[in-house]
Structure 1
């Protein structure tokens, strides 16, 4: 963690969420924006939930929060909008009987997992996560949900790192992307 920014909310301009950047994480040349500076403050958490809610398609009835940054956001947004919520976890982080997608890369490790038993057939699901980078985790999530009978056509993020191809990768697969704030992949000095 090399830097932090914490501007005050301003409704006349796009919101710049407080965050700190983790240098060269998860790989060299990428500084991951850690959202916990925002989510630990009720004002910012409300702004994030309100911003994400403004982009939710009216057909959505279930939110899929991605481990770890998307879990709290999706839970709060589900409560705010009276929607269902499921958690998408990294393989190995849950011990229940799971359905998984094994697509290894730096974002996914050994893939993603979802506890079995969710009624997903015909459900309209939006993916929620804190940051979009290459789109690998979100795409694996959308594909797994689609395989299980859900319709996953939307992904919402607080941050999007520009130039890493995530928006394009998801768009090519029919998943619309909305992010509240776009950032360069490396924190400017």
Structure 2
């Protein structure tokens, strides 16, 4: 069922983010908010990217888009702000020489990877994904980026599913979490 969320007052605009909830995905009791219903519209995508840009610290040099929902948004934000861009992919989604971070859970199977061609040493990298749930994928991405010599203390998300402890997990890792909108784990919220 299609839904729409509005950014909280004081967020600097009239951003409406349409999304579709996937019931009990990826686990029972969590309804995944797919932003594809919103990003299909160019003006909505521009507004989402602009809202994310408002939350991006000045020290960030590179954006790491997390497979799959964060890839396009991170690329668009990197282009908008003149930043570097890299892809953090799930294991087995790319067939090149990779460096892997293993953290098996329902979100990412057997971990995340980045191409060995990516060079991070001494750079400030922020991760970006569409939804923050348990934080497993995001934490694996942060650990991988740090292992490669970069500083990663910022994470950006469009949505956060409340009560799934992803924010707390990342904050324990020393990562500041910036989210456009928090949603309940399940059930209907605002209709479009």
TM-score (norm 2): 0.92
Partners of 2:148 and 2:18 in 1: how far apart?
A: 36
User: What residue in structure 2 maps to residue 61 of structure 1?
Assistant: 61
Partners of 1:13 and 1:132 in 2: how far apart?
A: 22
Q: How many residues align?
A: 187
- The alpha-carbon distance between structure 1 residues 21 and 58, as it changes in their structure 2 partners (threshold 3 A), is same
User: What residue in structure 2 maps to residue 38 of structure 1?
Assistant: 38
- Counterparts of 1:94-173 in structure 2, within 5 Å, are 94-173=94-173
For the residue of structure 2 that corresponds to 1:17, the secondary structure is strand
**Contact 2:15-2:48 within 8 A present in 1 as well:** no
Which consecutive residues of structure 2, in runs of 5 or more, have no partner in the other structure? none
For the residue of structure 2 that corresponds to 1:43, the secondary structure is helix
- The alpha-carbon distance between structure 1 residues 116 and 187, as it changes in their structure 2 partners (threshold 3 A), is same
For the residue of structure 1 that corresponds to 2:49, the secondary structure is helix
User: What residue in structure 2 maps to residue 71 of structure 1?
Assistant: 71
User: What residue in structure 2 maps to residue 4 of structure 1?
Assistant: 2
- The alpha-carbon distance between structure 1 residues 6 and 161, as it changes in their structure 2 partners (threshold 3 A), is closer
**Contact 1:62-1:84 within 8 A present in 2 as well:** yes
Partners of 1:80 and 1:187 in 2: how far apart?
A: 35
Query: Displacement, 1:15?
Result: 3.5
**Contact 1:19-1:34 within 8 A present in 2 as well:** yes
TM-score (norm 1): 0.94
> Aligned-residue CA RMSD in angstroms?
1.8
Which consecutive residues of structure 1, in runs of 5 or more, have no partner in the other structure? none
- The alpha-carbon distance between structure 1 residues 157 and 97, as it changes in their structure 2 partners (threshold 3 A), is same
Query: Displacement, 1:8?
Result: 8.1
**Contact 1:15-1:181 within 8 A present in 2 as well:** no
- The alpha-carbon distance between structure 1 residues 7 and 140, as it changes in their structure 2 partners (threshold 3 A), is closer
Partners of 2:5 and 2:63 in 1: how far apart?
A: 29
**Contact 2:101-2:144 within 8 A present in 1 as well:** yes
Runs of 4+ in structure 1 over 6 Å off:
7-14
